[in-house]
Chain A
């Protein structure tokens, strides 16, 4: 059955960051696909994606994983003869896909509206501060020399809150992932993936997740390193906070050789280095991939950076016995952390952490299935 061409999709995509002067400029020369170091036989991008975008082939786009395979090195945009910026279009397509996987529709709303996203973030920010303001044990604050963080914010309470948040967001994220699985794999009638392949390919997916190995094919090793370092630091921070908060948040000050301290330093360094690298890049706008920034990019980086900064400040104030500053910063730290987790993990940029490896996983599955069929 033939699909109807629908130019209106493009108008929708414009709110996800596709520039009008870009999407309609493409005259289909095929340069971007051929210049891309990651494109492979069978999974070719970005041109075909752009074509589907122009023609409004929604279903085809929703079922595609190609945008996730792109790490945005910018080669395609640099060499595009019509200055159509295919790299940026892939970026926007990833945002759109995130909203497509999200069945709640919240993701699309956050992406499409900068004021809404800012409002939600601000609301959560002040709400967290308010909670602290209401429940904080005021007497504790009267002794500025004695830092008792676990009394100010008892670790089991925070941990409980963490776990609740984890459960809720995991539900959303997992359901979105399932949604993605249905759209990409189940609905694709052309390939029937044998079960055993899932087990075979999952290891490769995990390897890819932790090393972002395919990313290394792109030009610019620093970019790969910054991205990987930021991602790993983030993952480490995430597991510390959610799984080992009791070990991490202590009132005892461990010696510098204690893993709690140096692990914390490395994570903080990764977060600060990574977020600064991307923020400076985006501010300078010199590098092709940083030329255009969506509001979600900025909010994400800003929150990440603030989390890292407040985190290290808490530590500095705490070991220096500055109780008040420690508590205030701690409150701020959580006030930055909560909106970041709530708005980004399931509904925005953070989710690419799972969608991308998943996409690579699915792509590999399909490829191996086809190879199997061919051998038979």
Chain B
């Protein structure tokens, strides 16, 4: 390795640093340290003349390492790295000492602050000695995208991506596109026709030259990493292989089966129906009991299987609005009937939904509240009663035990993760939460990405949600993918981990601790291998490695240890 020639620059930051730190003395003393060729102080290092100073010194004094003592690296590390790049040396051969936020702004004793600055800069010098030049790396992105699931979210994602002229492979496990949305007649809160919007959407997908549809198919294997996945698709016994750059998982939901809840009598009482069954009745205009009579009393029960620790603790998010829709439509088709809506909390939160709630209640729908742990029970009415069933419940808002007459009971069944969620998770490498929903990279700020780069999760496979929210998510994933495709490549983390195969003992400890499944195992060589396209550079593996075979680039052991030495070389 060539001899280190270090340049030190101490910033005044006007008076911000200079007032509390004797910058001139610091620079002078630092200049005496070995390997230091230049040590200067300047009013504003971040200003253009300040940067020019570094550039010209690098050229003039053939510097190959630079330390700037100024503000926080979070503020200006990028600025100075660029300056190094402009001067023709690798930007990673640079270190910053934070003597503003961590020294001059927080301390009151000028001597101590000056001393502390010296030790911080010494540490930076020690560290920069061991810096390696690192190169920006990127991986090429295959422009094709795999969309798993032909429901509304999958369709939206496919159209958004294909609309820009890029190839999409759309995989659907059933024989038709549209998912659950295709079974729905009208959509709350504005009661527009689902089919009228969905059909053209499906038609567009079917006729799109950039979308290849695989019905009754499933993906059997996915290998590779972001930008370069290989997917094996099985279609009716035949297997096709496709190269893809990104994956959108939109595998959707499953409806809860209410037969497991005894008290609602589903499967035993003929006129207890699920939401989906009632939906079908509405679609064909035939809201009748099993004996072909018009029901005089219709009862809707919310939270079936949801908000219940015995089944699913979570709220299924869409049932309340669906129930209001049903109440409205039942009123329209049965103007004389009594309509009861048994709810716990009315969750009408989306745009236009509270208004629908108001409208519905003004159509003589009687809302009855039961408490979360105090569910109603449906039973057969006594012979001679003028209704088919009665529902016993404790009405929470009146405090009364009441019975509700019913000729038809609609169970607002919740949603749950699809049966194949586990297989899908395993296939694409995403993790699942306790409810078998997929886990997003960050629940707030990255709701569609996953810890596996290039794999996005959208719609109901992440958590229950309604159509607009699913579509938004699908498009959000499309945005991410479009951006990467149009760049042609994505930059990947530079400061990744790497394995020294000579020392690695093959214990695989690192594989267990990696949150990004970025470390694989080479069976032949018996060593771990870091996939640098997946590694985010957290360094957890490095500290877990018992042999020291893993190096976290730019945060190597030797860099940090010598930094510690530097810190301690001066007394407080």
Residues of A that sit less than 8 Å from B by CB = 1-5, 7, 10, 20-21, 24-28, 48, 51-52, 54-55, 57, 60, 82
Contacting A51 at CB < 8 Å: which of B361, B362, B398?
B398
A24 touches B400 (CB 8 A): no
Contacting B405 at CB < 8 Å: which of A1, A4, A51?
A4
CB distance from A197 to the nearest CB of B (A): 26
**Given A55-B400, A57-B400: A21 and B362 within 8 A (CB)?**
yes
Contacting A55 at CB < 8 Å: which of B392, B395, B405?
B395
Contacting B364 at CB < 8 Å: which of A7, A28, A82?
A7
A57 touches B398 (CB 8 A): yes
Residues of B that sit less than 8 Å from A by CB = 338, 340, 346, 357-358, 361-369, 390, 392, 395, 397-398, 400-405
A28 touches B402 (CB 8 A): no
Further contacts, 12 of them, CB under 8 A, given A21-B362, A24-B364 = A3-B403, A4-B402, A4-B405, A5-B403, A20-B362, A24-B363, A25-B361, A25-B362, A27-B358, A28-B397, A51-B398, A55-B395
**Contacting residues, chain A, for B368 (C-beta < 8 A):** 5, 55
**Contacting residues, chain B, for A26 (C-beta < 8 A):** 361
**Contacting residues, chain B, for A7 (C-beta < 8 A):** 338, 364, 366
**Given A4-B403, A5-B366, A7-B364: A52 and B398 within 8 A (CB)?**
yes
**Contacting residues, chain A, for B367 (C-beta < 8 A):** 27-28
CB distance from A186 to the nearest CB of B (A): 21
Complex formed: what's the CA distance from A34 to B88 in Å?
Answer: 75
Show 17 residue pairs from A and B whose CB-CB distance is below 8 angstroms, ordered by the A residue. Answer: A2-B401, A3-B400, A3-B403, A4-B403, A5-B368, A5-B402, A5-B405, A7-B338, A20-B364, A24-B365, A25-B362, A27-B357, A52-B398, A55-B368, A55-B398, A55-B400, A57-B400
B402 touches A3 (CB 8 A): yes
**Contacting residues, chain B, for A28 (C-beta < 8 A):** 367, 369, 397
Give the A-B pair count, Cβ closer than 8 A. 63
**Given A2-B392, A48-B398, A82-B358: A27 and B403 within 8 A (CB)?**
no
Complex formed: what's the CA distance from A13 to B401 in Å?
Answer: 23
**Contacting residues, chain A, for B346 (C-beta < 8 A):** 27
CB distance from B53 to the nearest CB of A (A): 66
CB distance from B402 to the nearest CB of A (A): 5
Closest to B398 in A: A51
Complex formed: what's the CA distance from A21 to B363 in Å?
Answer: 9
Complex formed: what's the CA distance from A26 to B368 in Å?
Answer: 12
Find the residue from A5, A24, A26, A57 having the highest chain B CB count within 10 A: A5
Complex formed: what's the CA distance from A1 to B368 in Å?
Answer: 18
A54 touches B366 (CB 8 A): yes
Complex formed: what's the CA distance from A239 to B397 in Å?
Answer: 46
Contacting A25 at CB < 8 Å: which of B338, B358, B402?
B358
**Contacting residues, chain B, for A60 (C-beta < 8 A):** 400
Complex formed: what's the CA distance from A60 to B366 in Å?
Answer: 18
Contacting B403 at CB < 8 Å: which of A2, A21, A25, A48?
A2
Complex formed: what's the CA distance from A305 to B397 in Å?
Answer: 43
Complex formed: what's the CA distance from A52 to B395 in Å?
Answer: 11
Closest to A56 in B: B366
**Contacting residues, chain A, for B338 (C-beta < 8 A):** 7
Closest to A30 in B: B397
Complex formed: what's the CA distance from A7 to B364 in Å?
Answer: 9
B402 touches A2 (CB 8 A): yes
Closest to A83 in B: B358
**Contacting residues, chain A, for B395 (C-beta < 8 A):** 55
Complex formed: what's the CA distance from A1 to B358 in Å?
Answer: 32
What 8 pairs between A and B have smallest CB-CB spacing? Answer: A2-B401, A51-B398, A28-B397, A2-B403, A7-B338, A5-B404, A4-B403, A2-B402
**Contacting residues, chain B, for A27 (C-beta < 8 A):** 346, 357-358, 361, 367
